[in-house]
Structure 1
Amino acid sequence: MRITNRLLAFLLSLGLALGAVLVLIEIVAYAVGAKPIALNWPGLYRWASGTTWGSGIVRLIGVGLAVIGLLLLAAQLKPRRPDRLPLQPVDPATDAAITRRGLARTLRDAAVEVDGVHDAHVTVGRHLVRLRAEVPDGTAPSADSLHAAIASAAQHRLDALRLATAPALDVRIKTEEQQ
C-alpha cells in the first residue's frame, strides 16, 4: 500500500503542478494581450457563467469527485500489512521487532542448514509462514524424515525469536525436477 500511496501522491502533485503552470502561462498571456495559449478559458468562463449548480453536468462531476474521494478514503483506511512483527519484550521498557524480510531470511537459513536441502523460499504472511524447500532429485533422504528435519529446524528458529504472536509454519518439499 505504501507504493500505491506514493504513486497517487506523485500523480496528484504532478497534476497540481501542471495545472499551476498552465494557469501561470494563461495569466501572463492575458497580461501581455495575447490570445489564450493552452486553454480556452474565455469559452470555459462563458460556459460556467451560464451553468447552474443544479445542472446535470455539474451534478455528474460532483458525484464523480465524491466517488473518487470515497475510494481514496477507503484505500487509506484499509489496514496495512505490518512490516515488522513484534517480539516478546525482555524488559517492559523495550520495544523490539523483526521485519518480515529478516524473518524470511532467518527461516531460509535454518532450512538450508538441513542436510539435503539445496535452497528454500520463505513467504511470511500475517498468520502463516510458508517455507518451500528445494532438494536435488534422488539425492535426498526419505521425504518424511527430511520434512520433519526442516520443520523442526525452522520451528526451533521461530521459537528462539520469541515472537509476540508466532505465525503457523507450513513446510513443503519440492524436488528440483518439479520446478
Structure 2
Amino acid sequence: MDGLIVPPGQGRKLTTKAQEVTFKATGAHGSFMSCFEVVVPPGFDVGAHIHDRSKEFFYILEGELDLLAFEPVERTGEGWQNWESSRGDRLVRAGAGSCMFVPSGCPHAFMNPTEKPTRVLFQSYPPPDHERYFEELCDIFSAGSVVDSGAVQQLRDRYDVNQITPLRYGPPSLANSTASPLP
C-alpha cells in the first residue's frame, strides 16, 4: 500500500451555503481518520453539539474562531457563548496555531466572529461518518433555494450530531444574537 500526498489547494472540494470543505485524507484512502481543510465564513456558528461516537481535532491555519469544548454548568438552548464549566472555563478566542481536541460525548462549538474567512484543518475519527455527512449536507443545500430543515435533522440523526444550540450563519455582528439559524 502506498501513502498519500496532497499538494496545497488540492483534494476533493465541496461547497455549501455555510462552508467550503476540501477532503485531504479519507477512509477511502485507507486513513484511520477523516482529514479536511474547512473554510469557515464570517458569522458562521456551528452551534453547540455532541457526538456520541466521533472524536474531533481542529487546528486553526489562518484567522480566528471562538472555541468551546467542555460540559457547562447549565446548557442553555439559544446560545453557547456565555456557557461556563464548573472549573470556570469559558469560550476561547483562538488564532492561527491554536488547536482544539474534542473527545466523544463532549459538548463543543466554534464560531467565526470576524469579518474574514478562517481556514481550519479538521480531523474526525472514525471515518467515513463526517465525509458522508458533508457530502449529503452539500446535496441538501444544492437541492433548491429553500433548505429542507427536516432533511438536515434526519442527516444529523444518522451521523451522530446531537445539536444543543442552533447552527447560525450571518454577519459577525449579528451571529451572536439575531442571525438566522440554519436548519
TM range (shorter): under 0.3
| More helix by percentage | 1
| More strand by percentage | 2
Larger of the two Rg values belongs to structure: 1
Higher relative CO (Cα under 8 Å, sequence separation at least 6) belongs to 2
Q: TM-score, normalised by structure 2?
A: 0.20
